[in-house]
């Protein structure tokens, strides 16, 4: 029940904006001011019990306990290394210089942060230093995760972890024609940029080229300009080496002759001669000399300044598991079962800036794997992920089926599947509705993810997950249907009103069928059948009730099961369950499909006929119950505290399959999940991933 209550509480908090800059989450409930004051009162510098100064804090691979790089490590306070370790007299991009550690990406990110003072002091609040009120404790803001996988080695990158923005990467040898315009627009929008040069071996890392560029080393991109050079426009890039020295010695460097052929006013403004690691170079040289560019786009929550244009961010959370992990497009039988997210684009981008192509909507798509770094210690690496975007010609709210994707090419897609934490791509699409399908390369790979859709324009577009709808209208036979033939009478006479007899009678009939694989009904399935049809609460079935049950299961269910068994193996795969249940009258969300897969599929993700029928009976029972509780027919169930105890089991069942969007329990003094009886622990175990819509 505690897990259930926690899940409800987390969903409520997210809906109220908890985790945003305005409502930051305190890690483990720790309060910075309280902890600092405790240190000041005691006169003892803080020691973090959650992140102690010990070998595990470094990491377990390159900086592991046995690594030669960590031998002889001595832990010191920052003031033992430098009298004023923090920012003094204001921060500039030339203040940050790298030492002996290979943390250039981190420092390139820090240097870029100084370009925007507001963002810098969002990450590093002003109210702390090593002189006044120093207690050995500091606080910083990072995106929702207070630490980077609990080690210093995890500081391999910087931008996204600092800002919560969404990064895109460009291979400069195959960059788009509009890249300079993209860079200029990104800098104007307050984005953070860094670039690097690839190496063919580890031995070449940080080698210096003949023109003083450092390989396998991150440099910040701090500006762009277009100058008049001998009567022609010349595109220039301003970069900075975090070392604070070693600068480009080619064209447009500090002492280059090219500056003598530009407007003197531009030369005075741009040509700053100083050994500070910052330099200019032509855009064409930039493309030739560097290999890769990262642009971290900031979102509305990153900045509040009106001076720069921030984009809009739509965030989808989801996970792949079992029946909703469909793999790539080559897995035609399962690809359609992947999570699907609809985006509506209705405002074209600023193409006067980029001056290319037809007017369209510019968006950045970034599926990101969640919690994989945490699982690294357990030997679980990153999954290979990508996404594809398909145009919707008509309004669609239901999960797109197999037929939609057969032979259909996406409007755009990630270049390839890659085992990175995030893949991203900038795309331009005509206005309209689209479905984005993030996927892993292979099917049936479990993992959590989020999909971020970053749009440049302040569009009114909203994003929803396709198929996030729960509805049910199963076939309800009429008592006059069918004939009261001898077989029906014979079966009814064998029942004697007991569940064991029902099991034996039905097993006798269905064991003769050759079109389905059948090993007999489980006793619990038979109990659920009686529970569904028992209208007077006697625990037995009368003739009419039995006939109704017989009409439900004797013809429709086997037919649906057989039709969905595409390979005629006698069982259906978990990913085929959505199709089968739709034929039976049920439209279910991904969350419910995942719950069904875990509850009814075997270890090989197959569902036999007994499990299929048990699932349909359970769903029909729950829909009937919800209809009973939904007294106003408005999709909302309201119960008083006095009513809760009588509906314990069935109410939680309804919640767990997501049949209701809102549940009100009047005057409840505590979390509603705590009100349910201990009997329901077994139900929670049966549906461990069931979702509650609050």
Structure tokens at 245: 């020295």
> What CA–CA distance (Å, rounded) separates 138 from 39?
12
CB-based contacts of 13-21 (< 8 A; 24+ apart in sequence): 15/694, 19/144, 20/301, 21/122, 21/141, 21/301
Contact 541, 533 (CB under 8 A): yes
104: annotated active-site residue? yes
602: annotated active-site residue? no
Of 42, 192, 21, 54, the residue nearest 110 (C-alpha): 192
Does the CA dihedral 694-454-143-386 come out positive or negative? Answer: positive
Tell me the three state secondary structure of residue 464: strand
Does the CA dihedral 255-260-265-266 come out positive or negative? Answer: negative
217: annotated active-site residue? yes
Q: Which residues of 161-171 are buried (b: 16+ CB within 10 A; e: fewer)?
A: bbbbbbbbebe
Which residues, including other chains, have CB under 8 Å from residue 606's CB and lie 6 or more apart?
571, 572, 573, 574
* Residues written for the chain: 694
Planar angle of CA 339, 342, 193, nearest 5 degrees: 90
Contact 204, 178 (CB under 8 A): no
Instruction: Please list the alpha-helical segments (H only) found in 360-422.
Output: 402-405
- Cα–Cα distances in angstroms (integers) from residue 197 to residues 94, 106, 181, 279, 443, in the given order: 21, 16, 22, 16, 35
Planar angle of CA 405, 570, 550, nearest 5 degrees: 105
Query: Count of H helices and E strands in the chain?
Result: 22, 21
> What CA–CA distance (Å, rounded) separates 172 from 159?
19
Beta strands in 266-360 (DSSP E): 278-282, 292-297, 312-320, 341-345
Active-site option among 116, 149, 241, 590:
241
Active-site option among 139, 149, 217, 338:
217
> What CA–CA distance (Å, rounded) separates 401 from 399?
6
State the helix-helix crossing angle for 523-533 and 609-629, rounded to 10 degrees. Answer: 30
Would you name the residues annotated as active-site residues? 104, 217, 241
């Amino acid at each position: 029940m505690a897990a259930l209550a926690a899940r409800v509480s987390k969903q409520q908090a997210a809906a109220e904006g908890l985790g945003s800059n305005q409502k930051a989450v305190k890690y483990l409930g720790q309060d910075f001011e309280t902890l600092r004051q405790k240190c000041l009162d005691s006169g003892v510098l803080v020691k973090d019990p959650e992140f102690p100064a010990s070998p595990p804090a470094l990491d377990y691979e390159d900086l592991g306990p046995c690594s030669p790089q960590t031998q002889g490590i001595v832990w010191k306070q920052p003031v033992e290394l430098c009298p004023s370790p923090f920012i003094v007299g204001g921060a500039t991009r030339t203040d940050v210089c790298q030492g002996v550690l290979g943390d250039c990406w981190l420092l390139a990110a820090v240097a870029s942060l100084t370009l925007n003072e507001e963002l810098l002091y969002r990450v590093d609040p002003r109210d702390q230093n090593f002189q006044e009120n120093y207690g050995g404790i500091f606080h910083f803001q990072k995106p929702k995760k207070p630490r980077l996988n609990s080690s210093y080695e995890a500081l391999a990158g910087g931008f996204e972890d600092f800002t919560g923005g969404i990064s895109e990467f460009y291979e400069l040898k195959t960059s788009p024609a509009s890249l300079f315009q993209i860079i200029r627009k990104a800098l104007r929008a307050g984005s953070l940029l860094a670039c690097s040069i690839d190496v063919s071996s580890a031995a070449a890392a940080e080698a210096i080229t003949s023109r003083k560029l450092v390989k396998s080393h991150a440099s910040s991109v701090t500006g762009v300009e277009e100058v008049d050079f001998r009567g022609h426009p010349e595109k220039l890039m301003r970069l900075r080496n975090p070392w604070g020295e070693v600068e480009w010695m080619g064209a447009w460097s500090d002492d280059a002759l090219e500056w003598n052929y530009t407007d003197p006013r531009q030369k005075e403004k741009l040509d700053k001669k100083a050994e500070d690691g910052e330099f200019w170079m032509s855009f064409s040289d930039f493309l030739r000399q560097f290999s890769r560019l990262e642009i971290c786009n900031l979102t509305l929550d990153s900045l509040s300044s009106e001076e720069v244009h921030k984009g809009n961010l739509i965030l989808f959370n989801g996970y792949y598991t079992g029946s909703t992990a469909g793999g790539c497009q080559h897995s035609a039988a399962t690809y359609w079962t992947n999570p699907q997210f609809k985006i509506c684009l209705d405002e074209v981008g600023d193409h006067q800036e980029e001056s290319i192509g037809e007017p369209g909507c510019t968006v950045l798509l970034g599926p990101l794997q969640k919690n994989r770094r945490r699982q690294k210690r357990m030997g679980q690496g990153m999954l290979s992920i990508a996404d594809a975007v398909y145009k919707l010609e008509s309004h669609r709210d239901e999960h797109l089926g197999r037929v939609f994707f057969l032979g259909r090419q996406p409007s755009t897609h990630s270049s390839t599947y890659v085992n990175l934490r995030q893949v991203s791509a900038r795309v331009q699409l005509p206005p309209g509705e689209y479905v984005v399908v993030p996927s892993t390369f292979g099917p049936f790979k479990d993992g959590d993810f989020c999909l971020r859709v970053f749009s440049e324009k302040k569009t009114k577009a909203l994003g929803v997950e396709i198929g996030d709808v729960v509805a049910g209208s199963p076939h309800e036979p009429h008592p006059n249907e069918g004939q009261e033939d001898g077989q029906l009478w014979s079966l009814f006479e064998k029942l004697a009103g007991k569940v064991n007899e029902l099991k034996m009678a039905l097993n006798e009939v269905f064991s003769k069928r050759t079109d389905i694989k059948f090993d007999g009904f489980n006793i619990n399935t038979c109990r659920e059948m009686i529970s569904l049809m028992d209208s007077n609460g006697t625990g037995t079935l009368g003739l009419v009730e039995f006939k109704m049950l017989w009409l439900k299961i004797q013809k429709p269910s086997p037919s649906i099961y057989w039709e969905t068994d595409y390979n005629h193996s006698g069982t259906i795969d978990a990913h085929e369950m959505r199709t089968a249940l739709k034929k039976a009258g049920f439209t279910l969300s991904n969350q419910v499909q995942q719950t069904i897969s875990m509850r009814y599929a075997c270890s090989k993700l197959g569902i036999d006929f007994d499990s299929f029928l048990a699932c349909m009976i359970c769903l029909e029972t729950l829909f009937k119950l919800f209809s009973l509780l939904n007294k106003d027919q408005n999709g909302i169930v309201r119960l008083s505290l006095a009513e809760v105890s009588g509906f314990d089991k069935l109410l939680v069942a309804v919640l767990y399959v997501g049949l209701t969007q809102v549940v009100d329990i009047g005057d409840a003094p505590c979390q509603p999940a705590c009100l349910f009886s201990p009997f329901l622990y077994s139900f929670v175990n049966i549906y461990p991933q069931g979702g509650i819509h609050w």
